[in-house]
Amino acid sequence: MARFERHVFVCTNERPPGHPKGCCKEKGSPEIRDALKAEVKRRGLAGVVRINTSGCLDACQFGVSMVVYPEGIWYGGVRASDVTEIIERTLLNGQVIERLLIKDPRYAPASRQYPILVLPPRKE
């Protein structure tokens, strides 16, 4: 079994003001990362799902960018209001959220459905 079943990297890259690609940090990525981490912890998923800060994912022009591994699901334009849906649909149920996919074929996932997350038994 892998150390983590799903590993999320949220771009927090910072570019100079006015850069043509923009930067995820300026678009609120640290707050989105923090919200993902808090919700994963609240749901008791911390040992199964890992949320990490990432440097440049070379996708800042698509808005706040993140990638879910091992599936390779690339989301762009992510907002804080998407956090619950990302956790429930993608991280827990393996579903790709079409409206969040980066609309560039270089970032296309291999599938639109992945295995449901199998959680270890809870310790009482």
Residue range 6-38, pLDDT digits in tens: 999 999 988 888 888 888 898 999 999 999 999
Tell whether pTM > 0.85.
yes
User: Quick one: pLDDT at residue 18?
Assistant: 84
- Outline where the chain has alpha helix (H): 29-42, 83-85
Asked if 67 and 73 count as a contact pair (C-beta separation under 8 A), the reply is yes
Task: Give, in order, the Cα–Cα distances in Å from 44 to each of 22, 98, 105.
Answer: 34, 26, 34
Query: What's the pLDDT score for residue 71?
Result: 95
Separation CA 112–CA 54 (nearest Å): 24
Structure tokens at 77: 């334009």
Task: Please state, as a whole number, how many other Cβ atoms lie within 10 Å of the Cβ of residue 56.
Answer: 15
User: What residues pair up with 91 in beta bridges, in sequence order?
Assistant: none
Domain ranges of the chain: 6-107
Is the Cβ–Cβ distance between 34 and 83 less than 8 Å? no
- Average pLDDT, integer, range 80-104: 97
Percentage, residues of the chain above pLDDT 90 = 70
Q: Hey, what CATH topology would domain 6-107 get?
A: Glutaredoxin (3.40.30)
